[in-house]
Structure 1
Amino acid sequence: MSDADRRRAEAAAGNPAPIDALGRARIVLRASGLVLGLLITVPLHYLWRLLRIGSPWPKVFLGWAARFAGARVERVGVPLKRDVFYISNHLSWIDILAIAGQSGTAFVAKEEIRAAPVVGWLSVLNRTVFVKRENRMGVAEQINQLREALAENWSVTVFPEGTTTDGKSLLPFKTSMLRVLEPPPPGVLVQPVLLDYGAMGEEVGWIGVESGVDNAKRLLSRRGSFRMRVHFLDPFDPHDFPGRKAIAAESRRRIEEALVKTLGHPLRPFAYDVGPVRYEAPAPSRDGEDLPPQSPGPIAPPS
């Protein structure tokens, strides 16, 4: 196991590696770039709002922020601009910067992101609906917020895996947030999105018990940049797949198909401490239906 893989495994286990002087300098440099972007774009954003015209500045800044976080974002495909419900896989808080920077979408994201430095505030600025996974009583309120967003012709993105993974796996899609599509609002299409970090997926992934602060510090302190691709797949009409479970299944099928094509091999089961060299093919299909991957169980982190 390489040093980078060892650090990732330790971070996932809640044991972040110390950041050296160069790493701290990179954090300061990148944070300074973010502050500069804020100083330029936030006043312009509120000026646009004062003039009651659509503000492009959250999208501009979030794209800027993704670049300063180290991501060289490439867009593949064409994102719909409005009346669209994006459904995406999920690896990192950088996902929000990348997708919003390419499309200007609002989000549904896990509550923990609200506490992440800078990104939490940016998410609020970009109209994110935060979800507490353990708060089942709050689902109705969250659905109402989504309906209001779609009624105002927003684009909205959900991450139905319910957590972040490693770019080599795809968890079953939870469907509670897709109730907003029962029935689909008039004119709204669903567009699946694949986030592809390539070989960097496991290092970038916010997995295990690593805190949001530790993950942000780890990524902002790393040397160099990394490529990620945002694949906007072909949209479909949710009326063709009645019910949220059918919509989730079709979206997952399309994302999995694109991810397998990108990786060049079938997906592996997900466990936050599975080492990069470990690989297992999915369980064999039964009656032509792929079975969900089964976790092989935790592997002890390296000593």
Structure 2
Amino acid sequence: MIWRIIFFILITVPGLIAIVTFQTIYLWLKWPNWHFFPHLAHKLVCFNLGLKVRQIGQPARDKPTLLVCNHISWLDIPAVGATAPVSFVAKSEVGRWPIVGFLANLQKTIYVDRQRKTDTGRVTDEMSERMSSGQPVLLFAEGTSDIGLHVLPFRSALVGSAQTAMKDGAISELYIQPMTIAYTHLNGLPISRAERSKIAWVGDMGVEDNIGDILSSGTKSVTIMFGEPILFSRDEDRKLVTKKAEQAVRDMLVAINRQTALPTAHQGAH
């Protein structure tokens, strides 16, 4: 743990400061491919935290895409950020968390204020703007986190927001792409149920406690898998589509954790 803290202070912090500086200038000039510097930042954080990321499949491109995913830990953010140029949808509190909020802001996260029902319109507009520009938006659809052995029921409300954008004419078509995050090994050995508490963020655990566990837990292996996108029409039942995506995420998670035959992964264009 000591060397990770030293590395964080001497390498990661100066590196992130430089990346933020370049990213700020890049966004101010409105240049394309804004995700280059955040990608470097997430790679640096993953290295510092001992996080080894394995990617299976690809995020859909060139069409408006909403990625729906399970959620296990705040480590999901750097793991995904080091893999794909996505924008996250997260609760507004995330932006105020140490380290986590910094990484989320760098990834142009769309924040949802759960206390304000009138916030839905703004979130819908931001999601449609990102997706219509060809940038995938990622939703942790369970609404909370789990230890990584199960997939909790997906909430269809924000999937419905994306559908609203279609009905309003902001986007003409939409794909829902299932995506799975699975933490598989700790220090090179298959992770046990008890050891998952060193990674997962569940219950009333504080962010500082969780960061401490992660810093002291050694090398962690995570698999991120992208399933086949589901075409989502403007008149389709959002609950049925959300349920279909939920089952696809569950099938991928079970197969990765049990090391059995994997479902079909998405390999490129729609």
Normalising by the smaller structure, the TM-score range is: 0.7 to 0.9
Q: Does 1:156 align with 2:142?
A: no
Which runs of 5 or more residues in structure 2 are unaligned? 185-190, 260-270
What is the number of residues matched between the two proteins? 242
Distance 1:24 1:116, change over 3 A: farther
Partner of 2:263: none
- Check if 1:42 corresponds to 2:20: yes
Q: Is the 8 A contact 2:90 2:109 kept in 1?
A: yes
Residue in structure 2 matching 1:78, options 43, 50, 58 = 58
Match of 2:264 in 1: none
Q: Offset of 1:97 from its aligned partner?
A: 1.2
Amino acid at match of 2:133: E
Match of 2:228 among 213, 234, 238: 234
1:107-122 to 2 correspondence within 5 Å? 107-122=88-103
Query: Which of 65, 68, 78 is residue 87 of structure 1 equivalent to?
Result: 68
| Equivalent residue letter for 1:77 | G
Determine whether 1:212 maps to 2:207.
Answer: yes
- Who is 2:49 aligned against? 69
CA 1:215/1:223 → structure 2, altered by over 3 Å: closer, same or farther?
closer
Identity %: 24
**Displacement, 1:51?**
4.2
Preserved contact between residue 78 and residue 232 of structure 1 (Cα < 8 Å): yes
Contact 2:55 2:224 survives alignment (8 Å): yes
Q: CA deviation at 1:134?
A: 4.7
Q: What is the Cα deviation at residue 229 of structure 1?
A: 0.7
Partner Cα separation in structure 1 for residue 244 and residue 234 of structure 2: 10
- Residue 165 of structure 1, CA deviation: 0.7
Matches within 5 A, 1:243-282: 243-264=237-258
> 2:160 maps to what in 1?
179
Secondary structure of 2:203's aligned partner: coil
TM-score by length of 1: 0.72
Change over 3 Å in CA distance of 1:258–1:240 after alignment to 2: farther
**Residue of structure 1 equivalent to 2:268:** none
- Pick the structure with more strand per residue: 2
Query: Which amino acid in structure 1 is aligned with residue 92 of structure 2?
Result: E
Separation (CA, whole Å) in 2 of partners of 1:217 and 1:223: 9
Q: Distance in 2 between matches of 1:43 and 1:111?
A: 24
1:95-114, aligned counterparts within 5 Å? Answer: 95-114=76-95
Alignment of structure 1 residues 279-298 onto 2, 5 Å: none
**Which of structure 1's runs of 4+ aligned residues deviate more than 6 A?**
none
Q: Distance in 2 between matches of 1:28 and 1:100?
A: 23
User: C-alpha root-mean-square deviation of aligned residues, in Å?
Assistant: 2.4
- CA deviation after TM superposition for structure 1 residue 250, in Å: 1.0
What SS does the aligned partner of 2:151 have? coil
